[in-house]
Each structure stands twice: as C-alpha cells, then as structure tokens.
C-alpha cells in the first residue's frame, strides 16, 4: 500500500500538475479522477467532490455511494482506494497538511468536524444550490492557489477552507433531517438495539455496550451515529447508553432485593465505583442513597 508523505510525489505519481506549495494543493478533475488502482494513505487532509459514472471509491469498510454529487472528507492516514473512476461532470480534490493550519483557529476547529471519520456510504450528497456554492468556494481557492504567493495567500486560503468546512457541517445537518424523514428515527432503532443487547444476554459475555458495537449493529460509523442521534434527540450515543443503564439500575433498585454491587455486576459493570459515579452524575444521588430514599 502506497503512503504519500509529500504532495509533490502524490501529484507526480498521479499525473497531476506540479504543486504550488508543499503543504496545500488542489486538482480539478476533468471527467476522470483517479489515484492509481491500489489502496493508499497520506499525511494530508483530503476534501473531494465527485459525481461518479463508474469506478470504485472505497475507504473504511464501505464503497462510495455515488448516486448524487457527493463530497467525501478524509483525515491523514486513512486508507482509501480510487479505481478506474469516470465522472459525470468535473470534480475536485483538495489536500492540506495539518502544519498548514498551525497558528490558525482551524487547527483546533477541524477536530469538531466529525465527518472526517464517517464511512463512504455516509458521504455528503449536495443539492444543486449547494453544489454551486461549493464550486464557488473552490474557484476562489483555485484562483488564490495559482496566484503569486504573498503575505496574504495562506490566510485567504485558510479562510476559504474554513468556510468550505463550515458549509459542509451545515449541509450534513440538512442531510440528517432529510434522511430521518425518509428512513425513520435512528434514535428509535438505537434504543431497540440497546434493549436487544440486554435481553439477548450479550452484556453478560461482552460487558457494557459500546458505541462501536451498537453502530455496527445499525451499519453506521460511530461518529455518524452520534451526530445523527444528537440531531434527533439532543443526546450523543454514549449519553443515551448511560441514560439507559441508569434507568435499568433504578428499576432494579426499586423492584429487587439486591445489593448495589449485585445490580452493578448484573448490568455488566466490572467496576462498582464507576457504576456509582455514573449513577450519581445522572440522578443526583448515589445508588445507596437512592435505595435508602425508597425505603423511607
């Protein structure tokens, strides 16, 4: 598997024009946009827009859903494969190194954009107006990239990359709402999967349910699951797991003559103090205090 440490080498090996900068580059695809027929990784963030007619894009464990004009976002060291791509229209690829962000607010802000950890089947599908806006931002980046470098170049490019990522965040929120209306409530499916985890007895063998396990059950990436749950319910996947566990604990404390330790272990907790801290954080009372309150 090829690993690109240098943008110059990435461009040269894939037939792209020579780079203008060692830390940031872009390439406008003209009906064909590929990077060899093998998996590769790089040291760079990558943002790409494509409308595929044929070919394969794969990263994570899924194939790219190319039913619409779509954007994909990759962070450094993610594995990606682009094979024999043919585009319906022009596309683009934008690469930038983390060092390009140093000293700019985007260096920290980029961590909140969870879509860099989504799977390919969770790509961002754009409306016609959204496509137009994205192309406008790319054109501004392209103009600045090919201009003579001066003291303002980096700041202008970073401002446009920042704007592009902010719009992507907005568009994803729109997509969450649209997909929820079409496919139903993810929160409902999540709670059903969580309940099934306990009724099936999985917790006795595997311990407490994890976001990764439940995301796999719903065929979603953990980041995407948490983000869509936040949109639907105001809670992340982990928060909903904690709420479920505390609700079950409260029921057991009310209805069964068991010690707090027995209830904790019955729910899959290996650490009693962790159970007690979680319960108190959610309820405002320790499990012992809660149980005593029921007896009064």
For range 245-257, the mean pLDDT: 82
Per-residue pLDDT at 1 exceeds 80? no
Which range (25-39, 233-247, 279-293) has the least confidence?
25-39
Per-residue pLDDT at 224 exceeds 80? yes
For range 20-41, the mean pLDDT: 79
| Global pTM exceeds 0.75 | no
Q: Which CATH number fits domain 186-295: 3.40.50.300, 1.10.10.60, 3.50.7.10, 1.10.3720.10?
A: 1.10.10.60
pLDDT per position as a tens digit, 130-178: 989 999 999 999 999 998 788 899 999 999 999 999 999 999 888 777 6
Could you name the CATH architecture of 2-180?
Sandwich (2.60)
Query: What residue spans in the chain does CATH classification 2.60.120 cover?
Result: 2-180
Per-residue pLDDT at 182 exceeds 60? no
| Other beta carbons within 10 Å of 250 | 18
Query: What residue spans in the chain does CATH classification 1.10.10.60 cover?
Result: 186-295
Q: Tell me what the pLDDT averaged over the chain comes to.
A: 82
């Amino acid at each position: 598997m090829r690993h690109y440490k240098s943008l110059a080498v990435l461009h040269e090996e894939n037939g792209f024009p020579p780079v203008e900068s060692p830390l940031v580059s872009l390439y406008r695809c003209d009906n064909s946009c590929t990077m060899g027929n093998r998996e590769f990784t790089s040291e760079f963030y990558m943002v790409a827009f494509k409308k595929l007619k044929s070919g394969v894009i794969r990263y994570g464990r899924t194939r790219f859903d190319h039913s619409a004009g779509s954007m994909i976002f990759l962070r450094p060291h993610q594995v990606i494969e682009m094979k024999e791509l043919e585009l319906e229209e022009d596309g683009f690829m934008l690469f930038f190194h983390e060092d390009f962000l140093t000293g700019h607010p985007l260096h920290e802000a980029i961590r909140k954009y969870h879509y860099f950890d989504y799977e390919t089947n969770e790509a961002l599908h754009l409306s016609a107006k959204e496509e137009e806006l994205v192309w406008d931002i790319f054109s501004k980046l392209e103009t600045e990239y090919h201009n003579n470098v001066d003291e303002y170049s980096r700041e202008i490019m970073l401002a446009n990359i920042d704007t592009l990522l902010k719009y992507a965040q907005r568009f994803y929120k729109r997509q969450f709402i649209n997909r929820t209306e079409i496919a139903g409530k993810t929160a409902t499916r999540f709670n059903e999967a969580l309940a099934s985890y306990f009724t099936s007895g999985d917790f006795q063998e595997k311990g407490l349910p994890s976001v990764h396990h439940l995301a796999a059950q719903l065929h979603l990436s953990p980041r995407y699951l948490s983000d869509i749950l936040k949109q639907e319910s105001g809670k992340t996947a982990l928060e909903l797991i904690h709420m479920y566990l505390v609700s079950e604990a409260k029921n057991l404390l009310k209805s069964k003559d068991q010690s707090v330790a027995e209830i904790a272990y019955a729910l899959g907790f290996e650490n009693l103090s962790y159970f007690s801290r979680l319960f108190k954080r959610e309820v405002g009372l320790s499990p012992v205090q809660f149980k005593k309150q029921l007896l009064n």
